[in-house]
Copies of this chain bind each other. A is one copy, B any other.
Amino acid sequence: MLIGEYTHNIDAKKRLSLPSKWRKELGTTLVVTRGLDNCLFIYPLKEWERITEKIGQLPLGQADTRGFNRFFLSGAVEVEVDSVGRILVPDFLKEFAGLTTKVVLAGIHDRVEMWDENRWIEYKKRIEAQADQLAEKLGEIGVL
């Protein structure tokens, strides 16, 4: 299970180190794609295949399904993890997520999310401010 939060740098060659804790679980081939809320999603290849299979079952006739497919699939790139645990982040994805150098990697279940550090900080502030909603959710799952 991918959990935790790490801040790493994208260097001048667009290389990004993955946290060593996740490398075993992620494997050597990943898929990076446009995510929701202006971040990027990173999936292990297996997870990605599972997802695309589900997407394939969606009714193609609907306009919003087509839109989602284009958003999600056309933005996807398969990347290899190099010998020291780094991946390359293509320019168009960097641009989409507004990435500069400082990047936050967040483990969410079975995917990793990639955020520009500043956007992540802003987003977290918004979420934390909604403590009552969080408490409600925690209640739902029997934590509190």
Chain A residues in the interface with B (C-beta under 8 A): 1, 3-5, 7, 31, 36-37, 41, 50-52, 54-56, 58, 63-78, 90, 92, 106-109, 113, 123-124, 126-128, 130-131, 133-135, 137-138, 140-144
Contact = CB atoms under 8 A, between A and B. Distances in A.
A78 B3 contact: yes
> Across chains A and B, which 6 residue pairs bring their CB atoms closest together, nearest first?
A74-B106, A54-B141, A3-B76, A68-B137, A67-B127, A5-B74
A37 B63 CA distance: 9
21 contacts: A3-B73, A3-B76, A3-B77, A4-B77, A4-B78, A7-B92, A37-B63, A54-B141, A54-B142, A55-B109, A55-B141, A56-B109, A64-B133, A65-B137, A68-B133, A68-B134, A70-B123, A70-B124, A74-B106, A74-B108, A74-B113
Contacts of A108: 69-70, 73-74
